[in-house]
Each structure stands twice: as C-alpha cells, then as structure tokens.
Amino acid sequence: MQVEPTLLNAVWHALGEPMPRRVVQNERERALHIAAELWVDRVDIGDLLEDWDSRLRGIDIFALANAAELPTRIVYQLHGTKLQRTFMGHDRILRPDAAALMILFERLGFHVDPTEMVDAVLPTLKDIRRATSGEIDVLQFAFLRHKNAPLTLEHAGNKEMWTQTKVIITPTRYKAKGYLDDHGNPLMIEVGSPLFRRRPEPVLTQCPECGMSYMRGDPEDGVTHRKAHQKYLSIAAPKPHRKAAAAQANGWDGRVDAASPKWMHKEIYERARLFKREFHYDFVQWHPDGERNPGVVGFLFVDPAGSGKLLGACCFRWREYSNAPHRWAMDWIWLAPGARRTGLLTARWPSFLKDFGAFHVEHPRSDAMQAFLKKHGLPGVGLAVHA
C-alpha cells in the first residue's frame, strides 16, 4: 500500500511503543450492533479499534483504510417521505469493509481481534457471487488468519534509498521490518504473519494419466485437477454400470441410436470427449445432448463377462460421397486403455460388417488399426485408434 509519510511514521512509531494491556468489554454486543446496518458509523468502528489497542489513537485509521481500498463515504439519512428536501450526511464505511479494517490492523501487528466482528458480518455475505476486496478478506479470515503473505506499507512517491533496517517483534508475534533513512524514518514497512510459510511457485504440469494441464502447487487448480482426474478415471478405468448391466441382461448389444435413452448417449459422449483429447481433434464427434439423426449410430462396448463395465465406444455415420458410392463409415472408436488388445473389437467386427456392410473406416490411421483391418479383410483402410 502507498501511504503518506506522516501515516507511515505514525504506524512505525506505534508498533515500537509498549502496548498497555487492555480488555475490551461487551465486544460481541458491540460487534452485533455495528453490523446491524449496511453502512457503519466510522466512530463506532474507530472506538472499537482504539479500545483494542490504544496505540491506534495516534494513527489516522481511516487514511489507512482508504489506502487499503476500504473507503469511507458520506452517507445521507432518508426519512422515507417524498417531501424531504434536506439531507444530513455522516462519514460511514461499508459493513464488510469495517470488519476488513480490523483484519488489516491485526495483520499490521496491532493487538486487535477481529473474530467477533467477522462472525457478525459473515451471515450477511451468504451466497454472494461477486465480492469486494473487503468481503474477500472477511470470507477468508478463518482460513488465512496469521498465515497471510507479508503486508507492505510504502512511502508514497519516495525516491530515496533506505540506509538501515530495524525489526520489531510485536506482542502478537508479528514481525515488522522497517527500511529506514539516515534519520531513522521509515521509507517502507513490511509486516510478516507468524504462521506464514512461503510456498514454491506453482508449476505448469500435465497429468500423465488424464492429460489435463494445471498449475501444480495452486490449491484451486489442484481441486480442479482432482475433479477432472476422477471423471477421467470413471471412463478410462470403468466400474460396473448398473443401468448397462440391466440392459445387457435384457439382451442389449450396446447399440445406441436416436431411440436410445439419454444415459446411453451421455456415456458415448464422454468417450467421444476422450477420443477428441487423445487424438487432438478440434471438436467432440458426438452431440452432448445425444445424436437424434437416423444416419448416426453409436455402440458401447460392454464387458462380455456381464459386469456392466463400459469399456469403450464407437460411432458410425451415413456418408454421401461425391466421388464414391454412398455408405456407412466408422467415424471414430475409443477403448479404455485396459481394454485395448483384448479382442473386444475382433468379437464385434462380424456384427458391424453385417449391420453396415462394406463400411469405410475414416482417417487418420494408426498402425495398430491398419494391421487389424488387413487381418480382417479390409486392406487399405485405416483409423486412429488404440485397439
């Protein structure tokens, strides 16, 4: 934060003063009273701060609030009548910003406990979807308390180099390091939290299993990756599927067409999505809401043992070529890694030929599929597939 030199001096000298032991009376009641309105009278929050730590009486609390983007505003009283022509205004600060201001002074090393104020404000932030910096401070207070990264106050517009440093360990175990000029005046103050541990910088990483690129070391990215990884494993290392097992027991052979239930279309879509990623296609070759065109037929490869595991999928489309006879084409095929080279496609191949005739297998090719096609009597036709 950029602050004026007089404010920087006041903070530094206050941190160096002995702290008188004080006990705040009726803090919970005062916090609830302060948080009862959206706009808080700055006198109320200022008095509470100074009751916590009397050294703050020598600091322009609200100049520091403005520097921290927790601004005060003139707020006018409305009487609720159309005839009102005069308005009385008072300096006030938004309720979450008042709580964030208490958090700020604790982070600066002063003997301030924001807990009751935060607890009073938190219920007012339930279910918000957009937040100010003050609201974020309140929402993250319990998780980050005493663990925040160092907070820095700098002399606004200063071009002078510091010549000495001094460290103050506050009674709350915060470490304030002052970068001082020749006269002992601070040009910058850095205040570190007692439980802060500097983490390594996040590293861009690609998961070798699910293929997702994420910033390893970033907690939010880590959660996103874990969710995506679990979803990948549910397809790539499938468990028994209750609905598929029931359909298989009733004679279902894995065919999915316009009349098939929605869950079958969804399962094909998930495998088409992995096919897209594995072979670097530009789009998923199955509609997310299901294919309802009679010229599109999909197949789910169901575990022959009857477990209901869905081991892969493929798609056939009717093609009308300008330079060749119209016919069916195998658009794509994807098998779970553990199901490849296990004879699944070999077992289904005769029924595919029976249903779709001399179908074309679309490009690009893989060596494995080219060898498979030569072995099964369709030389010269290839498909990008692990089988």
**261 preceded by cis ω (within 30°)?**
no
Helix (H) or strand (E) holding 8: helix 5-16
Retrieve residue 214's tokens: 């994420």
Hunting for tokens 């409305």 — which residue is that? 78
Q: Which residue type, as a one-letter code, is found at position 18?
A: P
Interval 305-354: pLDDT, tens: 888 999 999 999 999 988 888 999 999 999 999 999 899 999 999 999 99
Question: Is there a contact between 254 and 272 (Cβ–Cβ < 8 Å)?
Answer: no
**Phi and psi for 276 in degrees, rounded to 5?**
-55, -45
Cβ within 8 Å of residue 169, ≥6 positions away: 175, 176
DSSP 234-263: HHHSPPP-HHHHHHHHTT--SEE-TTS-HH
Q: What percent of the chain has pLDDT over 90?
A: 74
Mean pLDDT confidence for 118-134: 94
Amino acid at 347: A
Q: What is the pLDDT of residues 218-236, one digit of tens each?
A: 889 999 999 999 999 999 9
Mean pLDDT within 76-88: 79
DSSP characters over 51-102: HH-GGGGGS-HHHHHHHTT--EEEEE---S-TT-----EEEEEEHHHHHHHH
Architecture of domain 237-375: 3-Layer(aba) Sandwich (3.40)
Per-residue pLDDT tens over the stretch 160-184: 899 999 999 998 999 999 999 999 9
For the stretch 325-346, what's the b/e string if a residue is b when 16 or more beta carbons lie within 10 angstroms of its beta carbon? eeebbbbbbbbbeebbeeebbe
Tokens of 256: 């999915």
| 3-class secondary structure, 45 | helix
Residue 290 pLDDT: 92
Confidence band, pLDDT 50/70/90 cuts, at residue 382:
very low
Strands 186-192 and 175-180: antiparallel
Residue 88, pLDDT > 90, answer: no
> What's the pLDDT score for residue 11?
96
| Tens digits of residue pLDDT in 266-319 | 999 999 999 998 888 889 999 999 999 999 999 999 999 888 999 999 999 999
Residue 246: the pLDDT is 94
The structural domains of the chain, with segments of one domain joined by +, span: 2-192, 203-232, 237-375
Residue linked to tokens 């308005």: 87
Supply the pLDDT for residue 103: 97
pLDDT exceeding 70 applies to what percent of the chain? 96
- Asked if 2 contacts 156 with a C-beta cutoff of 8 angstroms, the reply is yes
Predicted local confidence at residue 23, as pLDDT: 67
195: pLDDT confidence band, cut at 50, 70 and 90?
very high
